[in-house]
Amino acid sequence: MSNSREKPLEPTAAVPHFSRSYQRLGRVNLRVLDGPDRGKEFHVDLSDRRLITAGRDAVNDIVLTDTHVSGNHFQIAVTPRGLLLRDLDSTNGVHVGDVRVREVWLTAQTVFRAGQSTFRLLGTDDVQVALPAIDRFDELYGRSAAMRELFSTLERLATRGDRLRVLIGGETGTGKELVARALHNRSSRQAGPFVVQDCTSIPRELAEGLLFGHCKGAFTGAVGDRPGSFEEADGGTIFLDEIGELPLDLQAKLLRVIQEGEVVRVGERNPRKVDVRVLCATHRDLRAMVAEGRFRQDLFFRIADVRVEVPGLREREDDAVLLAELFLRRCAGAGEPRRLSPSARAALQAHAWPGNVRELKSVIERAHVMADGPEITADDLSLAPEVSARRAVAHDGLLLLPHDRAVDEFERLYFTSLLAQHPTKAKAARAAEMSGEGLRQALKRLQIRG
């Protein structure tokens, strides 16, 4: 995100000192009132997560023994508005009183039922978090409390935990690859290679060879020996982006590489030793995929010694303006950068940023080209107020609309947000689990230009 001429937005020390602290939600406390786990209490720490999942599978934060509870039964989302309880398409549902609910806001002492178990939210505990006096960590920028807390976590993982495997979560466009690069660049492996493998772009028939290598004649087109990504990363770090897209058969082979520290090229029998730190990222809920049998439970635990969550841009206070100014300076190069008008600043702060930092970068680069004067205005940003209006309808009044109109409004919101979150239509189609032609036809039917 930067070139060598850029300077930090404010003085940055090699080892951050702490200038202040802030208070945030630190723990959610839940008690089982009735059912097989009656009397058990769960106190879930929120230092590395914004979603709490519950079910029978061992990957959940709350693991239950009730056989009437699904593998991945419900989740509690930590949002700025409070705690939101959601049913995860479970077999027996989530009930508050006699009503089966899809989602409901939790308040202190709320009682709800899942399977044959009854739960009460006992309350929450706040924590004071010390914040480093920096606004940059490697190529990550931010002054918000959420980002400064992330910087502090990354500093510890880079300098003291560089043997740990890290699972990086967060919405599309938040900068998960930048987190992985920062962990590599600040670690003892910084002199070694940093190899990126996007699991969404691997052709299935070539995937094993790309990851683990192949020998000459191993398959049609294998005209010579070729090392795979793991061998190329030997002595350094490999970053597996969107690990949830990896097919199950390759997940088993990846597990062996991580466990044994060796790879076997396609067409060979003898293993080759590799010394690689594995960092993975995903925007999917891998725990739900484990419950559905689409991701291996043993692999999940192997790649997630530590989990970090990159906050969405809408959760980062005024960072949208800070980043916009940074992108404007880059667009200007050696020249004088354009300024943001008060209306532009207000528009940046009000926008929901479904595509996060990636969307912001695209908006600013377009505005830099299209603006006429030295100042960027709200009109230059073209943040499509009609999209914001549709988002408001979807969030606040969708259920009040007639059925046909509600479906149309939801689809327009869904596909508009989908395109904003993904750099290409091919990736958008994969994220929606649609064919490319299916996506094209949907956009045409809804008259969405993408």
Domain boundary among 381, 399, 432: 381
One domain, residues 192 and 246: yes
Query: Whole-prediction pTM value?
Result: 0.77
Taking a C-beta distance cutoff of 8 angstroms, is the pair 243, 296 a contact?
no
Pairwise CA distance, residues 109 & 67, whole Å: 25
Closest CA to 299 of 353, 258, 264: 258
User: Does pLDDT of 366 surpass 60?
Assistant: yes
Claim to verify: residue 326 and residue 435 sit in the same structural domain = no
Domain total in the chain: 4
Length of the chain: 450
| 150 & 290 share domain | yes
Same domain, 266 and 219: yes
Per-residue pLDDT, 49: 78
- Examine residue 141 and state whether it is found in any structural domain, yes or no: yes
Radius of gyration of the CA atoms of the chain, in A = 24
Mean pLDDT of 248-266: 92
Residues 296 and 406 in one domain: no
140/124 same-domain check: no
The verdict on 335 and 395 lying in the same domain is no
Task: For residue 6, tell me if it sits in a domain.
Answer: no
Asked if residue 191 and residue 64 are part of one domain, the reply reads no
Q: Of 74, 104, 129, which residue sits at a domain end? A: 129
For residues 111 and 142, membership in a common domain is answered with: no
Question: Quick one: 170 and 268 in the same domain?
Answer: yes
Taking a C-beta distance cutoff of 8 angstroms, is the pair 25, 80 a contact? no
Token duo for residue 97: 């009183």
The pLDDT assigned to 6 comes to 37
Summarised one tens digit per residue, pLDDT across range 279-295 is 999 988 898 889 889 99
What's the domain range around 330?
Answer: 318-344+352-381
Q: Residue 305's pLDDT is what?
A: 92
pLDDT band at 90 (very low <50, low <70, confident <90, very high): very high
Q: Between β-strands 82-87 and 140-141, what pairing exists: parallel, antiparallel or unpaired?
A: unpaired
Lowest mean pLDDT among 48-57, 164-173, 211-220: 211-220
Whether residue 402 is contained in a domain is answered as yes
Boundary (domain end) residue, out of 129, 162, 193? 129
Domain presence at residue 13: no
Burial of residue 357 (CB within 10 Å: 0-12, 13-18, 19+) is: buried
- Asked, for residue 7, whether it belongs to a domain, the answer is no
How far from 1 is each of 311, 327, 357, CA to CA, in Å? 17, 9, 11
Tokens of 215: 């020998």
Say if residue 167 is in the same domain as residue 301: yes
Judge contact between 135 and 142, C-beta under 8 A.
yes
Which residue, 27, 44, 51, is CA-closest to 285? 51
In a domain, 11, yes or no: no
Q: Are residues 265 and 324 in the same domain?
A: no
CATH code, domain with 220: 3.40.50.300
CATH, residue 61: 2.60.200.20
